[in-house]
């Protein structure tokens, strides 16, 4: 068959499917099959909820006292959202989950948990500003006691974090680091009973590149143009240039 003949046959088949498809039928399929993730396996090094619970419970087993747990809330942190997050995060455990290989606290003035807290603070309170402006006296001067206390900077000095250090920290965070922090947070919500009999779904913003740039076919359903690919059944988008990566993406990483 010629290429033109193949296109005509494919169009006839798709028209037949579209014209006879029941758009009101109930789709009873597992969520993993619908999202095309049934064959995906977790990345190495990511703890399950039960493994995280065991890890947290055993973290201070060799210590006589857990001084971080018995500390009183800081009066400088008056914002309720920041206060909740501050009490949720156990700094030594956060350090252990996101520290790079070869990390030594004795040789660090600024620790990973402080940089992580800075990222959280920026996302919640100052998402519109740049890193360069964020790491200045305007946000971390001596009078900014709440911000300094939240990221564990001393109140009696002018010490600050340079914006390049914060940028390098963010670039160094791997998918494993972020997922383990997420599981750590989910552990606390699960322990409190908030997630009882609940399934949590999430979408990571990391794009999945498409190996096939051209759709199998294109059809119109109720006036909307639909492209069908041989990969996971989601639409294909285009992204900005990223080194040697594909310009086309099929979606984002799915978390279940």
CB-CB neighbours of 186 under 10 Å: 16
Instruction: Note the pLDDT of residue 233.
Output: 45
Q: State the total domains in the chain.
A: 2
78 and 96 assigned to the same domain: yes
112 and 140 assigned to the same domain: yes
Among candidate residues 175, 192, 209, the one where a domain is terminated? 192
110 and 184 assigned to the same domain: yes
Question: What is the rounded distance in angstroms from the CA atom of residue 192 to the CA atom of residue 189?
Answer: 5
Instruction: Note the pLDDT of residue 9.
Output: 87
80 and 171 assigned to the same domain: yes
Element (DSSP H or E) covering residue 251: strand 248-255
> Pick from 176, 230, 183, 181: which is nearest to 206 by CA?
176
Question: What is the rounded distance in angstroms from the CA atom of residue 188 to the CA atom of residue 84?
Answer: 12
Among candidate residues 172, 192, 212, the one where a domain is terminated? 192
187 and 242 assigned to the same domain: no
216 and 126 assigned to the same domain: no
Q: Mind listing the pLDDT tens digit of every residue in the chain (256 residues)?
A: 888 888 888 888 888 888 888 888 888 888 777 766 666 666 678 888 899 999 998 888 766 555 555 567 789 999 999 999 998 899 999 999 998 887 777 778 889 999 999 999 999 999 889 999 999 999 999 999 999 999 999 999 888 899 999 988 988 888 889 889 989 998 988 888 877 777 776 666 666 666 666 677 777 777 777 777 665 544 556 666 655 556 666 566 555 5
79 and 104 assigned to the same domain: yes
How remote is the C-alpha of 127 from its chain's centroid? Answer: 16
Instruction: Note the pLDDT of residue 239.
Output: 61
Q: List residues bridging with 203 in a β-sheet.
A: 254
> Pick from 115, 57, 89: which is nearest to 182 by CA?
89
67 and 175 assigned to the same domain: yes
CB-CB neighbours of 93 under 10 Å: 19
List C-alpha distances in Å: 42 to 98, 177, 180, 199.
18, 13, 12, 17
Domain membership of residue 66 as a residue range:
49-192
238 and 218 assigned to the same domain: yes
- Tell whether pTM > 0.85: no
Please list, in sequence order, all residues whose beta carbon lies within 8 angstroms of the beta carbon of residue 182, skipping any fewer than 6 positions away. Answer: 202, 255
List C-alpha distances in Å: 135 to 16, 103, 164, 167.
60, 23, 9, 11
> Pick from 53, 82, 83, 81: which is nearest to 180 by CA?
53
136 and 250 assigned to the same domain: no
The answer to whether the CB of 37 falls within 8 A of the CB of 256 is yes
177 and 71 assigned to the same domain: yes
Among candidate residues 192, 212, 233, the one where a domain is terminated? 192
> Pick from 233, 236, 232, 235: which is nearest to 249 by CA?
236
9 and 92 assigned to the same domain: no
* Range 210-245 burial, b when 16+ CB lie within 10 A, else e: beeeeeeeeeeeeeeeeeebeeeeeebeeeeeeeee
Q: Which position has the token pair 């599981």?
A: 183
């Amino acid at each position: 068959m010629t290429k033109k003949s193949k296109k005509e046959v494919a169009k006839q088949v798709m028209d037949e499917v579209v014209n006879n498809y029941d758009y009101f039928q109930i789709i009873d399929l597992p969520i993993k099959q619908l999202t095309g993730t049934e064959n995906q396996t977790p990345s190495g090094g990511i703890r399950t909820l039960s493994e995280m619970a065991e890890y947290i419970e055993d973290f201070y087993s060799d210590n006589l006292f857990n001084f971080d747990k018995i500390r009183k809330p800081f009066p400088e942190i008056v914002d309720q959202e920041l206060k909740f997050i501050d009490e949720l995060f156990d700094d030594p455990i956060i350090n252990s989950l996101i520290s790079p290989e070869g990390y030594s606290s004795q040789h660090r003035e600024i620790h990973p948990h402080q940089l992580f807290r800075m990222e959280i603070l920026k996302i919640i309170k100052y998402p519109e500003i740049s890193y360069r402006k964020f790491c200045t006296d305007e946000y971390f001067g001596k009078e900014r006691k709440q911000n300094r206390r939240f990221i564990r900077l001393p109140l009696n000095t002018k010490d600050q974090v340079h914006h390049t250090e914060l940028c390098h920290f963010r670039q160094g965070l791997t998918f494993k680091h972020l997922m383990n922090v997420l599981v750590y947070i989910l552990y606390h919500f699960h322990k409190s009973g908030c997630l009882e009999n609940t399934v949590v779904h999430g979408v990571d913003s990391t794009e999945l590149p498409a190996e096939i740039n051209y759709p199998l076919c294109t059809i119109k359903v109720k006036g909307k143009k639909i492209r069908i690919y041989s990969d996971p059944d989601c639409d294909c988008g285009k992204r900005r240039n990223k080194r040697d990566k594909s310009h086309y993406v099929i979606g984002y990483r799915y978390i279940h």
